[in-house]
Homo-oligomer: A and B are copies of this chain.
Amino acid sequence: MKWNALYALPLSSIHIDDGYWNRYIRLVPERIIPYQWEVLNDRVKDAAPSYCLQNFKIAAGEIAGERKGAVFQDSDVGKWLEAVAYSLQSVPDPKLETIADEVINLIGRAQCEDGYINTYFTLKENGRRWRNLTMGHELYTAGHLIEAAVAYYQATGKDAFLKIMCRFADLICETFGPAKNQCHGCPGHEEIELALVKLYGVTKERRYLEMARYFVEVRGAKPNSFLTEMAERDFHEVYNEKTFFFPAYSQSDKPVREQTKAEGHAVRAVYLYCAMADLAAAYQDDGLLESCKTLWNDMVNRQMYITGSIGSCADYEGFTVDYDLPNDTNYSETCASIGLALFGLRMSRVTGEAKYLDVVERALYNTVRAGISQEGDRYFYVNPLEVWPENCLPHSAHKHVNPVRQKWFDVACCPTNVARTLTSLGQYLYSVSDSSVYLNLFMANHTEVTVAEVPVSLDLACDFPVSGNLTLHVSAQQAVAFALRIRVPGYATNFRISVNGQEQLLCIEKGFAVLERTWGVDTVEVSFGMEAKLVSANPRVRADIGRVALVRGPEVFCLEETDNGKNLASVFVSREAALETAFAPDICGGVNTVSFAGEQLVEEDWDADTLYSDRPLIYRPVQLKAVPYACWGNRKPGEMLVWMHAKE
C-alpha cells in the first residue's frame, strides 16, 4: 500500500465541550481524580484496598511495612498520573499538579540504582527480576508508567518523570534483545510495546521503537519463551500459572505475523495489536498491517458484542471461539473495550478508513461509558448484556458479574483506565494528514489545527448522539486549501452536508465525506438520520437467536428493571414494533430513551410450584422503555437486558 498514515493532533489543541460527554469529562478533575487519589492512599471506607502509594513509600525506604496488592499494582499509579496529565491540559490545577509532582518524586525515590522500578519485585521477590515474564507484569507496569511519563511531559513540559522512565526504558533495552547476553523474552501481558512507541514519539530515541519492535516480533517464537521460563523457574508464587497458562493466552502460540485469530486474554491482545499498528506505520510494514487487519476483522466481525465489548470468557478474561457470545456469563472487561478503541483509532490512522471508527465509537458510547457511574465513583469491571442480580452468586457461573458498580477492585485496572480515557477523549476526534483534516467522532469541541502552516480554528457544535445535526465553524487565519473529511458512520441515513448554506454533492472516500476547497471562515452543516431500530445477530451467534437488540446510531439500548419490572427475559418484542425516541434530561446528564409496545409472559398465571407443563402461555401487553446501555445501573439496582426475545 501507499504509506501515508494520518497523525494525531496534540491533545492540548482540542477542547471538548459536549453535552453528552461533559458530565463525565468534568467528573474527572472534580470527582474521579480526587476519589481515585483517596483510594490509592487507602482512605476510602469499604473500598477494596489499593496499597499503591504505600507500596511506593515502602520501596523508597520511607516507611516500614509489607508490600501488598497484586503484582501489577504499581500500574494503577501510572494510569492515575496519566489521567492527571491529560486533565491538567484542559483544567489547570496547581494543587493537583503539586500532588502529581510529589508522586513522581516518590516513584523516582523508589527507583533502583540501575533504573528498575517495580515495588513487587523490589520488595517481595528481590533477585527474581525478569524471571517471571509470564505473569510477573514488570514490563506491563513499566509500560503504564511510561505512558504516564509521556503524557505528563506533554501536558506540563516537565521532564522529571520522563527522565525517570527513560532510565528504566534504557535498562529494559539493555536487558532484552537478540544479543547472546540479553533476555530473548517478551512480556506475558503486553503494554510496554505501545508505551515504548509513545516514548520514541517524544524522545525520538530510536532504540525505544526498536525495543517495541523486538518485543512484538519475538512473541510466539519457538520454543515458547513462557513455557521455557516456567519449566526452568524455581518459584511459582504469583499465580498458579503452570496449570492456568496456555500460549494463546498471551498471544504467543505463534509469531504475530502468522496469527489470524484474536485469541487469549482480551486486554493483552488489543494492547499488542495497538503496538502492531503503531509499528506497521512506523516501519511502513505491509505484512504487519495485514496481520492487524486480519486480527481486527476476526475480532470485530466474529467475536465482538454489540456493545463494543470483547472477551466472552470470564475464566481467562478472553476470547473463545467465533460467535460464542453469551450475554450473562461474559467478561467484556472495560479495559478491553478501551484497548479496542485504542486499536481502532490506530487502524483508522494507518489505513485512512472510517470503518474502524464505527467500532471505536461503539466501544466508547456503550461499554466504556458504562464502566463508570454517573457520579464517577463506582465502576464496572465486567460488562454483561443481561443481568439477573439474584443469580450473581459467589462460586457460580456469574461470580464475576457485579450487578452494581463497585467502589474499587482488588485488581483495579479498569477505574484508572476509564479516567485516563475520559480525559484523553480528544485524541479520537481528529486525524490529520498534510492536506486533510479528518473529523472522526462527533463531540462538540473547539480545536486549533495548523494546515499548510496556516492556523485553523474548528468549532463543532452538536448534540450527538441525541441527533445527527452538526455545525462546524471553520476559521482559517488566511485562506488555505485542504480537504475536510467528515466521517459518514455506517449507521447514518440520509447523510447531507452543506457549506455556508449550500448543499454539497457527496463525495465519499474510505468512509469520509470529502470537502475539498479553500477554507476561510466557513460554516459546514452536516445532518444524518439515526433511527432507532431493532437488529438481529448473525444466526451463528447462538446466544442471540430469537432475540433482538435496540440500537440507535452508536448507542445500544437496554431494558432495566426500574422502568420495566422484573423478569425482563419474559418480555417479547415484535420486530415491527413502533419505536418512539424521547429525550430524558434526568438520566446520565441527558440521553435519549426509546419506548415501544411489547408483550410479557404472565408469571402470576403459572403456579410457582409447577416447573414444566403444556398449558398455554398467557401474555399481557406491556409498554416498554429502553435506556442507553451506557447508563444502566445508575438508578435503582435490578435486572438489565440488551437482547430481548423477539415475537416471531
Q: Is A572 an interface residue (CB 8 A)?
A: yes
A window 540-575: CB within 8 A of B? 540-542, 545-546, 549, 551, 567, 569-570, 572
Q: Is A94 an interface residue (CB 8 A)?
A: no
Instruction: Indicate whether A606 sits within 8 Å of B314 (C-beta atoms), given known contacts A391-B321, A614-B533.
Output: no
26 example contacts (A-B, Cβ-Cβ < 8 A) are as follows A246-B394, A246-B395, A297-B609, A301-B608, A302-B608, A313-B393, A315-B395, A315-B396, A315-B397, A316-B396, A320-B391, A320-B396, A321-B391, A321-B393, A324-B388, A324-B391, A329-B397, A535-B613, A536-B615, A537-B611, A537-B612, A538-B603, A538-B607, A538-B608, A538-B613, A546-B572
Question: In the complex the two chains form, what is the Cα distance from A534 to B246 in whole Å?
Answer: 44
Q: Is A304 an interface residue (CB 8 A)?
A: yes
Q: Is A390 an interface residue (CB 8 A)?
A: yes
Determine if A601 and B539 form an interchain contact, defined as CB atoms under 8 angstroms apart. Answer: yes
Question: In the complex the two chains form, what is the Cα distance from A314 to B393 in whole Å?
Answer: 12
Q: Which residues of B contact A320 (CB under 8 A)?
A: 391, 393, 396
Instruction: Indicate whether A603 sits within 8 Å of B540 (C-beta atoms), given known contacts A609-B302, A611-B304.
Output: yes
* One of B302, B545, B608, B645 near A569 (C-beta < 8 A): B545
Q: Is A602 an interface residue (CB 8 A)?
A: yes
Question: In the complex the two chains form, what is the Cα distance from A546 to B397 in whole Å?
Answer: 22
Q: Which residues of B contact A313 (CB under 8 A)?
A: 393, 395-397
Question: In the complex the two chains form, what is the Cα distance from A603 to B540 in whole Å?
Answer: 6
Q: Which residues of B contact A569 (CB under 8 A)?
A: 542, 545
Q: Which of A246, A314, A321 has most chain B Cβ within 10 Å?
A: A321
Q: Is A399 an interface residue (CB 8 A)?
A: yes
Determine if B613 and A536 form an interchain contact, defined as CB atoms under 8 angstroms apart. Answer: yes
Q: Is A617 an interface residue (CB 8 A)?
A: yes
A window 426-449: CB within 8 A of B? none
Mask, A249-274, CB within 8 Å of B = 1, is 00000000000000000000000000
Q: Is A647 an interface residue (CB 8 A)?
A: yes
Instruction: Indicate whether A567 sits within 8 Å of B539 (C-beta atoms), given known contacts A314-B397, A545-B645.
Output: yes
* One of B324, B536, B609, B617 near A301 (C-beta < 8 A): B609
* One of B391, B396, B540, B546 near A567 (C-beta < 8 A): B540
Instruction: Indicate whether A539 sits within 8 Å of B606 (C-beta atoms), given known contacts A304-B611, A315-B399, A645-B546.
Output: yes
**A618 nearest CB neighbor, chain B only:** B539
Q: How many monomers of this chain does the complex have?
A: 2
Closest-CB distance, A292 to chain B (whole angstroms): 16
Q: Is A306 an interface residue (CB 8 A)?
A: yes
**A395 nearest CB neighbor, chain B only:** B315
Instruction: Indicate whether A306 sits within 8 Å of B397 (C-beta atoms), given known contacts A391-B320, A545-B601.
Output: no
Question: In the complex the two chains form, what is the Cα distance from A75 to B611 in whole Å?
Answer: 34
Q: Is A69 an interface residue (CB 8 A)?
A: no
Determine if B301 and A611 form an interchain contact, defined as CB atoms under 8 angstroms apart. Answer: yes
Q: Is A326 an interface residue (CB 8 A)?
A: yes
Q: Is A494 an interface residue (CB 8 A)?
A: no
Instruction: Indicate whether A539 sits within 8 Å of B602 (C-beta atoms), given known contacts A315-B399, A396-B320.
Output: yes
Question: In the complex the two chains form, what is the Cα distance from A540 to B570 in whole Å?
Answer: 8
Determine if B611 and A538 form an interchain contact, defined as CB atoms under 8 angstroms apart. Answer: yes
Q: Is A648 an interface residue (CB 8 A)?
A: yes
A window 496-514: CB within 8 A of B? none
Q: Which residues of B contact A538 (CB under 8 A)?
A: 603, 606-608, 610-613
Question: In the complex the two chains form, what is the Cα distance from A537 to B570 in whole Å?
Answer: 12
Q: Which residues of B contact A607 (CB under 8 A)?
A: 538
A window 298-316: CB within 8 A of B? 300-302, 304, 306, 313-316
Q: Which residues of B contact A603 (CB under 8 A)?
A: 538-540
Q: Which residues of B contact A235 (CB under 8 A)?
A: none
**A315 nearest CB neighbor, chain B only:** B395
Question: In the complex the two chains form, what is the Cα distance from A287 to B310 in whole Å?
Answer: 53
**A600 nearest CB neighbor, chain B only:** B539
Question: In the complex the two chains form, what is the Cα distance from A314 to B315 in whole Å?
Answer: 13
- Beyond contacts A313-B397, A315-B397, A538-B607: 17 other A-B pairs, Cβ-Cβ < 8 A, are A244-B395, A246-B395, A301-B610, A306-B612, A316-B396, A321-B391, A324-B391, A397-B397, A536-B612, A536-B614, A537-B611, A538-B606, A539-B617, A540-B603, A540-B608, A545-B569, A546-B572
Q: Which residues of B contact A306 (CB under 8 A)?
A: 611-612
Instruction: Indicate whether A316 sits within 8 Å of B395 (C-beta atoms), given known contacts A567-B540, A570-B545.
Output: yes
Mask, A518-541, CB within 8 Å of B = 1, is 000000000000000111111111
Determine if B606 and A326 form an interchain contact, defined as CB atoms under 8 angstroms apart. Answer: no
Mask, A637-648, CB within 8 Å of B = 1, is 000000001011
Closest-CB distance, A57 to chain B (whole angstroms): 30
Mask, A458-493, CB within 8 Å of B = 1, is 000000000000000000000000000000000000
**A603 nearest CB neighbor, chain B only:** B539
Closest-CB distance, A612 to chain B (whole angstroms): 5
Closest-CB distance, A173 to chain B (whole angstroms): 34
**A543 nearest CB neighbor, chain B only:** B569
Q: Which residues of B contact A246 (CB under 8 A)?
A: 394-395
